[in-house]
Each structure stands twice: as structure tokens, then as C-alpha cells.
Structure 1
């Protein structure tokens, strides 16, 4: 298998977007010791927010999973940028956080979050397996349905 994150994503018939720039006073990622922290990523199409709305109201579970996958694609773009597209620098994905804008009675957060989890595992193999938190929230930046963040372990 390739050690290029970009090539791994292309093998899935997906295109890695350019890494998004911070929308406020923060940075996209930071490395501390042997850990890489990536800021929250939202689903974007051509640099514009996609899947605007809330699960349990205007969006279906399937649309939520697609939004999570798209946000995870942006996460992989940040990972590729941080590692110079060199997957051999990655030990593993430690934690994936998935925030889902949803109605008070929506209970399928884990189904939505699988869109992001599946992409990480499919693109990174065993290095993509992770612990995860899937949390329902009332709203997210730009009104999108999903935001994801992650912590990765790097080689010394």
C-alpha cells in the first residue's frame, strides 16, 4: 500500500481537498511531543459549507453520514498537510470526535459518525482505527450538520 495519504484517498475514488484555513483566531493543527491535534473540520464542497441543517429535522441519517465523511475528508487533508503527505510518520489515530447538529430527540449519532470512522479506516487501514465520541449538539459553525476533530499519534 502507498504511504501517500492523497493516493490512499484517490484509491477510494475520492479527491483530497486543499486543507481549509482557520475561520477565526486558531490554527489548523498543532504537534505536541508525539501527538498531532487537528482542529474541527466541517463538510465543504468547493470551499463552501455543505449539508447545512440538523439531523432529525431537515437531514436524513444517510445525509448525516455523508456529511461526516466529507468532514473527515477535510480532516485527512489537514493530516496530509501536517505530515507532508507521508503516512509512514503516522503510528495511529487515537481519537475521533464527531459533533452532530441534531434535534433533541435524535438518537442516531453513532450511525452518522460512522461516515467519518469508515473513511478513516478505509483510507488509513489499521492506522485509522480509533476511539470515538459522537455528540449531539444544537448548532455548529456555518449551520453545518457535522464537525469532526482528531488526535493522532506520530513516530518519534
Structure 2
């Protein structure tokens, strides 16, 4: 590992996986006008497992919060693949978190905090961002959470 962000990840005990190929007709990240747009990332862990289900109908907030952290790890994985060096991240501008939610479930922000808290832990003030946390009826592959990012690059 090299660079400040990679060192911080190591201190936190986080190893970024290899960036997976897209599962459909899109690209995982696009650089345009000094910004990096990272496609929605699902909460695949190092073992390939993914939290599935619906909040408010069996999936607990704590488990979904941990899944949102995995989404943020996968965002950094895609950023590294697109930029070659995570230290090119100037700041996380915006996250949008999508939470599979049963009718009446309103704690989407508590779920997406898993991604937000992780990015601040890794990046400090560069990780503070604007955010939306949106409840949806269903997500790809039955995922409980999905997170996308807009990142300013240096």
C-alpha cells in the first residue's frame, strides 16, 4: 500500500478488494470535469456474501448499517480502479444511499450512516459530504442497501 488514504485503510484493518466488472450495461465509474461519479455499489463483502432483504421486514438496522459500510468500501475500490491513486480524492461531495424499505420504515438515515461514518473515518474532513437516504421497494439482486458517490478529484 502507498499513500495517506491507503495507509489509513490499513490502520482501520480494511483491505480493498479488486474492482469487480459491471454486471450490466454500464461502467462502474466515470471521470468528468474534475469529478468522479461512482455507480451504485452493493454490499458485497470479501467472501462474496451480500446482505439481502428489506428493512422493517426482517433486516435489522445494525446489519444494514454494516452493509452500507461495505458499499462505501466498494466505492473506494472503484475510485482506486478509476483514479489509480486514492490520494487523488479531494473530497466526497455527495452520497446517495438506497435502502430496501417496507412501508412505514423511516430510519434510512441510520442505515446510510454506515457509509458516511466510514468515509469520514478514512478521509477525515474530505469525507464529509452532502447526502440523500432514500427508501425504495427493491434493489438489484435483493440487496438491502446500495450507495453511489460523487467525488471531487485533484
**How many residues end up aligned between the 2 structures?**
153
Superposition TM-score, scaled by structure 1 size: 0.92
Task: Give 1:20's aligned residue.
Answer: 20
CA distance in 2, matches of 1:6, 1:141: 29
Task: Give 2:54's aligned residue.
Answer: 54
Tell me, what secondary structure is at the counterpart of 2:22?
coil
Task: Give 1:32's aligned residue.
Answer: 32
Check whether the contact 1:20–1:74 (CA below 8 A) recurs between aligned residues: no
Q: 1:126, CA displacement in angstroms?
A: 1.1
Deviations 1:53-98 (Å, cap 9, x if unpaired)? 01111211101101100111101111122221241x2211110010
Check whether the contact 1:5–1:76 (CA below 8 A) recurs between aligned residues: no
Task: Give 1:131's aligned residue.
Answer: 130
User: Runs of 5+ in structure 2 lacking a partner?
Assistant: none
Tell me, what secondary structure is at the counterpart of 2:37?
strand
Q: 1:49, CA displacement in angstroms?
A: 4.6
CA distance in 2, matches of 1:86, 1:17: 14
For residues 92 and 113 of structure 1, do their structure 2 counterparts lie closer, same or farther at Cα, with a shift above 3 Å needed? Answer: same
Matches within 5 A, 1:59-74: 59-74=59-74
User: Runs of 5+ in structure 1 lacking a partner?
Assistant: none
